[in-house]
Amino acid sequence: SGGRLPVPDVPVAGATLIHADGLRFGFERAEPVVRDVTLDAAAGERIALVGPNGSGKSTLGRLLVGLLRPDHGHVELAGDDPSRMSAARLARHAGYVFQEPERQFLAQNVAEEIRIGLTAEEVERVDDLMTRLRLPLDAFADRSPYRLSGGEQRRLSLACILVRRPEVLVLDEPTFGQDRIGYEGLIGILEEHLDHGACLIAATHDTRFVGDVAGRVVGMDAGWIVRDEPL
């Protein structure tokens, strides 16, 4: 049905899941993309990272979940450095959905892709999750992830993360390429996941998504945080 996600009557006083202190990072040392960023994110928070292209949103998201290691400063996720966690341990604590979903795919068909590395308990969630994301396995199981539409690829990459129910979910432009039904399905799935106390951090240009989902907006410009306020 769409509409804004319900906000708890009482502010969520969740445990701090991510603590980032003094982060600086550049793909080339002389040109920082993220500059002296300090940020805490707690269980139950819904944070929109906003700002122009090139402002550092996606890079910050990857730093927060250990996909990149900062040049200066440090990140703690569940009390540890995420960039030093094993892939299996990191996947239980945090998930990152890329703007280009095909960067994450490893298998030759959808059924294999969604089941990679899952526990028996997680495998039991697959059929329902895929159906609700409009990728039912009776129709999509044998299809190549690389032959899906852009919107379908994005939903598959999200499913591969959500099935593990990580504490922290970082999304890069999650609504890009989604039609109205895909958008509303995404909102519903996220609402359910957040009900488990997860923290959502989404880099987005979609003002509708910010209005429907976010409880806090962090604005970036030229690598700096220039705004951090409740919505």
pLDDT tens string 129-178? 999 889 999 999 999 999 999 888 988 999 999 999 999 999 999 888 78
Distance CA 121, CA 134 (A): 22
Check whether 10 has a pLDDT greater than 70: no
Check whether 55 has a pLDDT greater than 50: yes
Characterize 15-35 residue by residue with b for buried, 16 or more Cβ atoms within 10 angstroms of its Cβ, and e for exposed. Answer: eebbbbeebbbbeeeeebbbb
Query: Tell me, what's the pLDDT at 123?
Result: 95
Check whether 1 has a pLDDT greater than 80: no
As separate numbers, helices (DSSP H) first and strands (DSSP E) second, the chain gives 9, 9
Query: Tell me, what's the pLDDT at 6?
Result: 56
Check whether 3 has a pLDDT greater than 70: no
pTM: 0.88
Check whether 54 has a pLDDT greater than 80: yes
Q: Mean pLDDT for the chain?
A: 90
As a residue count, the chain comes to: 231
Query: Tell me, what's the pLDDT at 8?
Result: 47
